[in-house]
Structure 1
Amino acid sequence: MTSIATAHWTLVAWRAGRSWRIAAQGPETAATTAPVPPETEFLGIRLSLGTALERLPTDRLVDHDIEFPDVSRHSVRIFGHTMPLPDYDSAEDVVRRLARAGVIVRDPMVGELLRGGSPDATARTVRRHFLSATGLTPGLVRQIERAREAALLIRTGAPIAGVAHDLGYYDQPHLSRSLGRFLGHTATDLRTGESGQLSLLYKT
């Protein structure tokens, strides 16, 4: 499938046969092709922007992932803390346990910025702090989220020219370049269904 760009960290668990594996995927700055072996079950947990693994520098996982090797059929050990493997019903509880254990942390300044607040710091300091917390600049995050919003609108039948105008693209070629970079497909592909399966392209 096409793994689209995302500003968020993702916890991914997958099972092939009876063996489970689990990894943390950092932000992705461009669309890539992700293998989907047959008879494999996947579960992804998309963390809120500004949330990351406490012991890993964010820049190390931009466009990369880290797999946790200590996995049994029922649990995974992450930085010394044993957690149950998540499923669709327990995902939020697993995230709460990871937060209580200090395995994942959320930067409060990122949350304040997303709520429209104005931290008491210079613009340069805020930008540097945002980059340190998320691995990405605020501008790149906005580009990724705008491309995702455009794709959702196009898939629902919204006119491509109207989407480009409403979301602030200069013109349709500008929209096309953005979709190609961040989603790996053109607006026409999205409209006709030729884009196939795209990761994380749904309303949350």
Structure 2
Amino acid sequence: MYAERPFPGLACVWRRTTSSTAVGRVVPDGCTDIIYAAGTGEVFVAGPDTVAHVTSVRPGTLFGVRFGPGVGPSAFGVPAVELRDQRVALSELWGPSARLEDDLAAASDPCAVLAAAALARLRETPPSPLVGAITSFSGNVGDLARSLGMSTRHLHRRSLAAFGYGPKVLHRVLRFDRAVKLARDGVPFADVAHRTGYADQAHLSREVRELAGVPLGQLIRP
């Protein structure tokens, strides 16, 4: 069972409970998460993925906070590219975390504890204003670089630091994420392709297979 809820300053907070061992598939969305495994006490960071992350999920409950694209690295203190396709113990980024782990173990709402810690870090080191400019731009990368007064090479470096991807890959991932959300809402696949800017449904299908590793119908199946 998976549920998420909005949380001011973050993309969302979420909780996933699994009653038996299962295979989980996490697909790219440009986001980063801090995750607390209640059963083991582990607290770790899930970096931005470039392809589906498939793992064996043990019985128990996970609590998480999700940063929007380009936001998490400001809280973690490292460039996003260093976390790309990685799962890293939070203590490797923030140092000893015994107090946070104790607070999580005692909390009735571990998501609120994680969110408070995440937002405190973001207040200290807020994300660059470039994050919004890069995520919202949908045209040519050269035009984006010129609008920001920098070279395409410098834009690529800044994008890697914030998102873990260059601008082209970022927009590919964000488009894929929008398409998956529409499909999960019941929008016909042909309409999904049209509304998210794919050339046609076949183009959408190819992108989903490359990024998720399975067809769209299988990906959204409950």
Quickly say closer, same or farther: Cα 1:113–1:145, change in 2 above 3 A.
closer
Contact 1:32 1:184 in 2 (8 A): no
One-letter amino acid matched to 1:106: P
Letter in 1 for 2:81: D
Q: Percent identity?
A: 24
- How has the CA–CA distance of structure 1 residues 121 and 11 changed in structure 2, closer, same or farther, with 3 Å as cutoff? same
Separation of aligned partners in 2, 1:21 and 1:101 = 25
Cα-to-partner distance string for 1:142-168 (whole Å, 9 max, x where unaligned): 111211211221222212112112222
Match of 1:177 among 203, 206, 210: 206
Correspondences of 1:80-119 after superposition (within 5 Å): 82-83=99-100, 84-85=103-104, 87-100=110-123, 106-114=127-135, 118-119=147-148
Ranked by relative contact order (alpha carbons within 8 Å, sequence separation 6 or more), the top structure is: 1
Q: Cα distance, 1:140 vs. partner?
A: 1.1
Displacement, 1:69? Answer: 5.5
What TM-score, normalized to structure 1? 0.75
Query: Alpha-carbon deviations, 1:57-103, whole Å to 9, x = none?
Result: 43221111211469xxxxxx93257544372334432212223455x
Kept in 2: contact 1:147–1:183 (CA 8 A): no
Structure 2 letter corresponding to 1:179: V
Q: How many angstroms apart in 2 are the aligned matches of 1:100 and 1:155?
A: 34
Checking the alignment, whether the CA contact within 8 Å between 2:65 and 2:111 is kept in structure 1 is no
**Which residue does 2:192 correspond to in 1?**
163
Corresponding residue number in structure 2 for 1:152: 181
The residue aligned with 2:55 is 34
Q: Distance in 2 between matches of 1:188 and 1:48?
A: 26
| Residues 179, 185 of structure 1: 8 Å contact kept | yes
CA drift at 1:55:
4.0
- 1:59 alignment partner in structure 2: 81
SS of the equivalent of 1:146 reads helix
Structure 2: 5+ residue stretches without partners: 1-23, 138-143
Q: Distance in 1 between matches of 2:51 and 2:62?
A: 21
Question: Structure 2 CA distance, aligned partners of 1:137 and 1:167?
Answer: 20
How many residues are matched?
182
- CA RMSD of superposed structures (Å): 2.7
Q: Does 1:78 align with 2:107?
A: no
The CA distance in 2 between the partners of 1:56 and 1:43, in whole Å, is 23
Work out the CA distance in 2 between the residues paired with 1:41 and 1:49. Answer: 25
Cα distance change on mapping 1:49 and 1:187 into 2, 3 Å: closer
Distance 1:69-1:89 versus aligned 2 partners, 3 A rule: closer
CA distance in 2, matches of 1:145, 1:3: 14
Between the aligned partners of 1:7 and 1:113, the Cα distance in structure 2 is 12
- Structure 1 residues without counterparts, runs of 5 or longer: 71-76, 197-204
Residue 123 of structure 1 pairs with residue 144 of structure 2: no
Structure 1 residue 29: Cα displacement: 0.3
CA offsets, 1:181-201, max 9 Å, x none? Answer: 22333233256x2xx4xxxxx
Residues 43/185 of structure 1: CA separation in 2 closer, same or farther (3 Å cut): same
CA distance in 2, matches of 1:125, 1:78: 28
Cα 1:163–1:79 shift into 2, 3 Å: same
